[in-house]
Amino acid sequence: MQDLNKKSKYILFSVTLLLLLNNISYSESIDEIKSKIDQTTNSKRQLEEEIIVLDKQLKDIGKETNTLQSAIKTVDATVKKNSLDIKLTENNIKGTELEIDRLSIEIDKKGQTIEENSGVMTQMIQETNRFDQMSFVELFLTYKDISDFWNESESILSVQKKLREKVSDTKNVREELKVSRTDTEVKKKQLISLRSELEDKKKVLEISKKEKASLLAETKNKESNYKKILADKVALKEAFDKELAQFESELKFAIDPKSIPSAGKGILNWPLDNVYITQKFGNTDFSKTAYASGFHSGVDFRASVGSKVKSSLTGIVKGIGNTDLVCPGASFGKWVLIEHNNGLSTLYAHLSLIKVSQGDKIYTGDVIGYSGNTGYSTGPHLHFGVYATDGIEISNYNFKSCSSANVKMPLLTKQGGYLDPLQYL
C-alpha cells in the first residue's frame, strides 16, 4: 500500500505539472492574439473618427451653393469616405479572423483538458478500486505501524477528493467548450457577411469614381456647362412630375382604409442606422416648388453614398429597377419595392447599389442596398416611401417627357395610396 501512496502522489504531481506547462504555452499564444486584437480595435477607432470627419465635410458641402466645384468636392469626399469604409471593413475582417483564432485555441485547450482529465480520472478510479476491494481488517493487518495505516488512508481519501473535483471540472469544461464552439460559428457567419460587405464597398467606390469621371467629362470642368446640365435636369424632372401628377389625378378608385394597419409607432423600423430627416411627407416648403403636384410622396433621409439601407419589415421584394436607364435624372434612379404582409409596401430610392432580386424573402433589418445619388436628386440621400399595397403596382408606363420611353417604376392604382412613413416608424 505504500506503493499506492507513492503512485497517487506521482499521478497528482504529473497531472499538475503537465497542465501547468500546457497553460503556459496556450497563454503565450492567446496573449499574442489578444495583442493583435487590441491593435485592430485601435485601428477601427481611428478609422471611425476619420469617417466622422468626412461625414461632417459632406454635410457642410451639402449646405453650399450647387456649383460644379461643390459637386466635385462632394464626389471627392465620397470617394475618400468609401475608401475608408473599405479599410474599416478589412480591419473588421482581420479582427474577426483573430477572434476565430483565439476561440480555436480555447477549443483545442478545452478538448485537451478534457482528454487529460479523462486519463487522470481513469487512473484514479483504478487506484481507488484496488483500495475498495480490500476489507478494512485486511488493509489494517498489512501494516505493522498504525500511523502508516492512517497516513495511507488519508492519501487515498485525498485521491478520491481530487477525483470528484476532476469530474466536476470536466463537466464545466465541456459546457465551456459548447459555448466556444457556438461563438466560433457566430464569428464565422460574421466573417462571411463582412467579406460580402467588403465586395459591396468596393463596388460603391467604383461607382463614385465613375461619377466623378462622368461629371468632369460632361462639364469639361466649366461652370457654365454644369449650370446648363442642371437646368436641363430640372426641366426634365418638372415635365416628368407634371405627367405623373396628371396620371394620378385620373385615378377613379380609392383604397379601402381597412386594408392597411392603423398608424402606430414601431410598425416599421428605420431604414438607416443614422437617422436625419431632410424632407418630410406631404406638402412641404420644398415640395411646393420642387414638384408639379406640390406634394412629396415619402420621407427623405440624409445618407452619404454607400450607407447601408435596411428593410423596414419582413416581406417579399416586389420589384427592383433603375429609371436612369431610360430617363436619366427624372425620377427614383435605382429603387427597391418590398411588399409586407400587413397591407403596407415600402420603397427605397436613389440607391447606388441594389443587393436584392425580385421575389427574394427579406427580413427586418436585412441590407437591401446602399444609398446613393441616382435619379432626380439634389444630393446624396435616401427617399423612403410607404404605400398601401392595395393601391400600388409596378408598371412600365410610357412617359412622353422621356422621349415616350416605357419607365419601369411603382405607380399608384388607387387614390390614397401614398402614406406618411413617419406615422408608422
Q: What are the residues whose beta carbons fall under 8 Å from the beta carbon of 388, sequence distance 6 or more?
A: 255, 259, 260, 343, 344, 345, 414, 416, 417, 419
Question: Model confidence over 298-329: pLDDT tens digits?
Answer: 999 999 999 999 999 999 999 999 999 999 99
Residue 392 confidence (pLDDT) above 90: yes
Which amino acid is located at 194 in the chain?
A: L
Q: Where are the alpha helices (DSSP H) in 220-310?
A: 223-249, 285-290
Burial class (CB in 10 A: 0-12, 13-18, 19+), 399: buried
Q: What is the pTM of this model?
A: 0.79
Q: How many residues does the chain have?
A: 425
Evaluate if residue 136 carries a pLDDT over 60.
no
Whether the Cβ atoms of residue 164 and residue 202 lie closer than 8 Å to each other: no
Give me the mean pLDDT over the 30-56 stretch: 89
Under DSSP, is residue 405 helix (H, G, I), strand (E, B) or coil? strand
What value does the mean pLDDT of the chain take? 83
Residues 6 or more apart in contact with residue 283 via CB below 8 angstroms: 294, 295, 296
| Residue 303 burial (C-beta neighbours within 10 Å; 0-12, 13-18, 19+) | buried
Residue 167: name the closest of 117, 133, 101, 203 by CA: 117
Is residue 2 scored above 80 in pLDDT? Answer: no
Q: Which residue has the higher pLDDT, 115 or 64?
A: 64
Q: Which residue has the higher pLDDT, 32 or 10?
A: 32
Mean pLDDT, residues 201-215 taken together: 91
Mind listing the pLDDT tens digit for each residue in 238-283?
899 899 989 988 998 899 998 999 999 999 999 999 999 999 998 7
CA 80 – CA 217 distance, rounded (Å): 20
Instruction: Name all domains of the chain by residue range, CATH numbers in brackets.
Output: 2-211 (no CATH), 222-423 (2.70.70.10)
pLDDT digits (tens, 9 = 90+) for 169-200: 667 767 777 787 888 888 888 898 989 999 99
